[in-house]
Amino acid sequence: MSAARRTYSSPLREESARRTRITIRGAAATLFERHGYVSTTVKQIADEAGVAVRTVFTAFPDGKAQLFREALDAAVAADEPAAGMPPVRSPHALGAAAAVVDQVVGYGAAMLERAGGLLITSIESSGADPDMKRFAEDDARATAENARTLAEGLHRSGWLRADVTVDHAADVLYTLSSPQVHALLRRDCGWDVDRYRTWLADTLRSTLLR
């Protein structure tokens, strides 16, 4: 009887542990974005999640750094688009090249809506914490690589303007699609997401494409 009871309860314990991890991770993400990484303590995360400090370390043995990494990974990798975000359809977009830009902008904007706050947290905290410095550098490197890949694809397809080199296109894509620009326009200037996406798509199209 006891063996059967242990077999039955194990999936329940695993599901409970999974939900606890998600709750803690969500609480940490909220506090990191609200107060910054350095100022947020594990005690505050535990209080926000409604669990004991020991529970936080049981779920995340490496503490804040592991929490931040997993919160960021979950936000970046989420399959669902940001709520209320239809595909970008720039009123000035014509042709296959513009459609590619709209698709890239739509994907990037959805990701930044989910993860931009954490990315900005890592950037703003990079001077005070070595883990944040590493996270910020890793993201900048990945963003630059993605921008380069897109610029090379636009060049191979013959869609870049004659006066725009691959290097220039990659720099423009890297800069304008960055979490810093997203934060400036969405958070500081108060743009809604549709205005941001339309501006970015139109600016990239007019700056880079034939």
pLDDT at 6: 54
Residue 186 and residue 109 share a domain: yes
Determine, yes or no, domain membership for 66.
Answer: yes
Which of 49, 77, 105 corresponds to the end of one domain? 77
Instruction: Provide the b/e sequence for 172-188 (b: ≥16 CB within 10 Å).
Output: bbbebbbbeebbebbee
| One-letter amino acid of 132 | M
Q: Are 69 and 29 in contact (CB under 8 A)?
A: no
- Among candidate residues 42, 77, 112, the one where a domain is terminated: 77
Measured distance CA(69)–CA(90) in Å, rounded: 34
Percent of the chain with pLDDT over 70: 88
Out of 45, 77, 109, a domain closes at 77
* Total residue length of the chain: 210
Supply the pLDDT for residue 12: 84
pTM of the model: 0.82
- Cβ–Cβ < 8 Å for 104, 153: no
Q: How far apart are CA 105 and CA 69, in angstroms?
A: 24
Whether 119 and 202 share a structural domain: yes
Q: What is the DSSP-derived secondary structure letter of residue 62?
A: T
- Report how many domains make up the chain: 2
Q: Rounded to 5 degrees, what angle do the CA atoms 9, 61, 29 make?
A: 95
Q: What does the block give as tokens for 113?
A: 């809506």
Q: Please tell me whether residues 136 and 48 are part of one structural domain.
A: no
Q: For 165-206, how does the pLDDT look when each residue is reduced to its tens digit (9 = 90+)?
A: 999 999 999 999 999 999 999 999 999 999 999 999 999 999
Instruction: Give the residue from 170, 45, 68, 185 showing the smallest Cα distance to 119.
Output: 68
Domain range enclosing 11: 2-77
Q: Are 56 and 24 in contact (CB under 8 A)?
A: yes
Q: What is the pLDDT of residue 93?
A: 47
Query: Does 202 share its domain with 99?
Result: yes
- What's the rounded Cα separation, in Å, for the pair 126 and 109? 23
Count of other CB atoms within 10 angstroms of residue 111: 20
List of residues 6+ apart from 93 with CB closer than 8 A = 99, 101, 102, 201, 202, 205
Structure tokens at 162: 């004659």
CATH number of the structural domain spanning residue 66: 1.10.357.10
